[in-house]
Structure 1
Amino acid sequence: MAALVLLALLALRSTTAGEPSERLAGTAAPKPSVIRFGVPAVGIGGRPIVGGSFLSTTHIQGLLEQEFKSDGIRVEWNFFKGAGPAVNEALAGGLLDFTSLGDLPAFIGRSAGLKTRLILTTGSRGNVYLAVPVGSPARTLEDLKGKRLVVHKGTATQLIMSRILAQRGFSESDFRIINLDSVASLPALLSGDIDGLWSGLTLLEHEDAGRVRVIFDSRTDTGRDGKAEIASQGTILVTENFATRHPDLVQRVVNVLVKTADWNSDEANRETLFTLWERSGVAAATYRRSYRGVPLALRQSPLMDGFFLASLAAGAQAALDLKHIRAPVAIDGWIDRSFLDRALAELKLEKRWTAYDAQGAPAP
């Protein structure tokens, strides 16, 4: 359904106007008055702040605003309660220049013909949780077969859920899958109207408060017993149109993001970072639990290394096999490393992060 909506929007746009780059062929692109960023989430209570990544830190600290202040360029942040599907619709409507996006909605957009470049990763080890009501007798995923499970369809959470189910010999048809966004799904779980919820970090906070019980953690419950690790890949995309017209501005954006990733990766900043992200409404204690035993640099690295590429390719193939997308997505033609490579060189951060190979081991 999400892909069909995108195709309709792209068709409408193509019949109403050409791309700005086409209309201005042969002329220098004027400097934009605004750079428009999309974020496929909202904070607790719908607040326009999220945590968890170097993009979050960049937004909270106003670092891009500082970078472009002297140019008179405003930075506009758009937070989407409708998550990835809503971001794709905004991209199709020409309403964004950059966005962060989980892997499945990024695949859906690319498969449907959205013209973007993948220029950074915001994390190659994204995980999800499955929670049940406190009084539920369920202790394992298998206990929920035939039960009502909620996931926000068209998001990275749906893809990682589908891959986990397939790894264990299930499909979505083995459960009663219900589509709800993050705002509506938690009340449904707390009221007992559903039997389980696939979601992210906030489930840990509710478990700590005794409201739910987490029975599956993709970070610890995949990659064992000879099974492959399953993780979602966070991406940062720039539209082809903006990258073509303003490569200098894209480079400056990437430089700011990579510099922030360096700060986020510094263990000396761990508590400061979690306190900063707390502005999203998620408690610092929840971030501490999520990062327990995990080096900041492992999850805050912007590198598009072998593990990221292999996981992204596996996710794209799984999305096709599971019929989440209608056409294959070629990873090689989508990724543009030039901005990241230049940022690493200019900031002298070429050796800042460990690169990992396709199996997740440190690359030689």
Structure 2
Amino acid sequence: MKHPLPRLFRLASLTLALLGASAAALADNVHEIRIAVPDISAGTTPSGAGIVDVLRDRQSLEKEFAADGIQVRWNFFKGAGPAINEALANGQVDFAYLGDLPAIVGKANGLDTRLLSATARDVKEYLAVVPGSGIDSLESLKGKRVGLFRGTATQLSFDAAVASRGLKESDYKVVNLDFNAGNAALAAKQIDATWAGAGLIGLQSKGLAELPLNTQTLGAGGIQSVLLGNGAFVDQHPDIVARLIKAQQPAVTWLRDEAHKQAYVDLVARLSSYPAALLASDAAGQPYTKIFAPQLDADFIGKLQTSTDLALQARLIRKGFDVSKWADSRFLDAALQDKEAASNQASR
């Protein structure tokens, strides 16, 4: 008679394996997708501008995952990039829409993130100065007090702009101020200038600032924006990542259509509480087809590499890295191929 213990051991091992498989299945069951965005709003409702506001307005991601009972939670951070990097480090978010510097800083500091998509290219930044100051160039600004939101893409934009004129951040008396504080300080003439985005046009319209130059007129300092995925989430849930990237593309297509430019301006104005005329002024002369191209192409990767190298040179990071190895384009490539195939099929 065979001893029953080996059979019992086999049954026990099988039971444990099944239990382990069930636990793994439960672990893989996503109930919520957490997305982080810097909040650019000047009012009570949050805004991330760009593709973020279009996605939220159209409920694109919510509709994609509704049938699975998966909630999409948008987390807006007034602390911008540095606060989002902290949330990524603590495993509190799964995706992040970020400007180039905080994305680069996180990667350089060891955060396991994946570069999934471009979300904006060469976003315009402005120099605002006290009216009547006579400051009309980065050279004449040298030695003056400049409000700058350190740790954000705006800081890297400023560094790139001054570097294009053979200068560096240390040539200025930089005061670390967030965007609202920078605006207030300039209006009160507590600083000589500030460097930021389209919100500065509002100060100009009130006679509280002059805008002698911007990154477009300089030909340097434009901000690149990206969609990052938390590395652990990407590895564990590649199907969710693929669906999110695919669901994003119709909104990208809508945004890149010049016929929708005014509708987009009105949308961001409503969410951000910035005047539509201000946003329209900023949008003038900027081709949305180019700005909001999602591809991780050689041009975009090259710009991010240049930004990374500049961040290292300016000692904003301690260690550089190869941006091409950071990029994980398989999800975007698949989504764009599916879109092209669908378009070809529709045209037949």
The two structures have a TM-score, normalised by structure 1, of 0.84
8 A contact 2:183–2:203 mirrored in 1? no
8 A contact 1:263–1:269 mirrored in 2? yes
Aligned partner letter, 2:192:
D
Which residue, 320, 342, 358 being the options, matches 2:334?
342
8 A contact 1:141–1:215 mirrored in 2? no
Q: Deviations over 1:56-82 (max 9, x none)?
A: 210233221121111111111111111
Structure 2: how far apart are the matches of 1:305 and 1:211? 40
Aligned partner letter, 2:316:
H
Q: Does 2:290 align with 1:293? A: no
Q: Does 2:313 align with 1:315? A: no
8 A contact 1:107–1:329 mirrored in 2? no
Which residue, 137, 141, 150 being the options, matches 1:140?
137
Structure 2: how far apart are the matches of 1:25 and 1:303? 38
Identify the residue that residue 117 of structure 1 maps to in structure 2. Answer: 114
Aligned partner letter, 2:268:
W
Aligned partner letter, 2:274:
V
Which residue, 47, 64, 67 being the options, matches 1:67?
64
Q: Does 2:207 align with 1:210? A: yes
Which residue, 247, 263, 278 being the options, matches 2:254?
263
Greater shift, 178-187 or 208-217, is seen at 208-217
Q: Does 2:98 align with 1:107? A: no
Moved segments of 4+, more than 4 Å: 23-26, 349-352
Task: Note the 1:1-364 alignment, pairs <5 A.
Answer: 27-28=24-25, 29-45=27-43, 47-51=45-49, 53-222=50-219, 229-279=220-270, 280-348=272-340
Structure 2: how far apart are the matches of 1:125 and 1:42? 17
Q: Which has the larger radius of gyration?
A: 2
Structure 1: how far apart are the matches of 2:157 and 2:177? 16
Aligned partner letter, 2:260:
N
Classify 1:40/1:50 alpha carbon distance in 2 versus 1 (closer, same or farther; 3 Å): closer
Q: Deviations over 1:101-151 (max 9, x none)?
A: 111111110011100100001112122111012232222222221111011
1:26 CA displacement:
9.2
8 A contact 2:99–2:152 mirrored in 1? yes
SS in 2 for 1:168: coil
**RMSD between superposed Cα atoms in Å:** 2.1
Classify 1:66/1:117 alpha carbon distance in 2 versus 1 (closer, same or farther; 3 Å): same
8 A contact 1:130–1:216 mirrored in 2? yes
Structure 2: how far apart are the matches of 1:215 and 1:25? 63
Classify 1:190/1:35 alpha carbon distance in 2 versus 1 (closer, same or farther; 3 Å): same
Overall identity of the aligned pairs, in %:
37
8 A contact 2:138–2:165 mirrored in 1? no
Structure 1: how far apart are the matches of 2:341 and 2:130? 45
SS in 2 for 1:44: coil
The two structures have a TM-score, normalised by structure 2, of 0.88
Aligned partner letter, 2:287:
P
SS in 1 for 2:323: coil
1:310 CA displacement:
1.1
8 A contact 1:130–1:199 mirrored in 2? yes
Q: Mind listing any 5+ residue stretches in structure 1 that lack a counterpart?
A: 1-22, 223-228, 353-364
Identify the residue that residue 4 of structure 2 maps to in structure 1. Answer: none
Structure 1: how far apart are the matches of 2:293 and 2:341? 11
8 A contact 1:100–1:237 mirrored in 2? yes
8 A contact 2:148–2:195 mirrored in 1? yes
Classify 1:327/1:274 alpha carbon distance in 2 versus 1 (closer, same or farther; 3 Å): same
Classify 1:147/1:350 alpha carbon distance in 2 versus 1 (closer, same or farther; 3 Å): farther
Classify 1:154/1:349 alpha carbon distance in 2 versus 1 (closer, same or farther; 3 Å): farther
Q: Work out the number of aligned pairs and report it.
A: 323
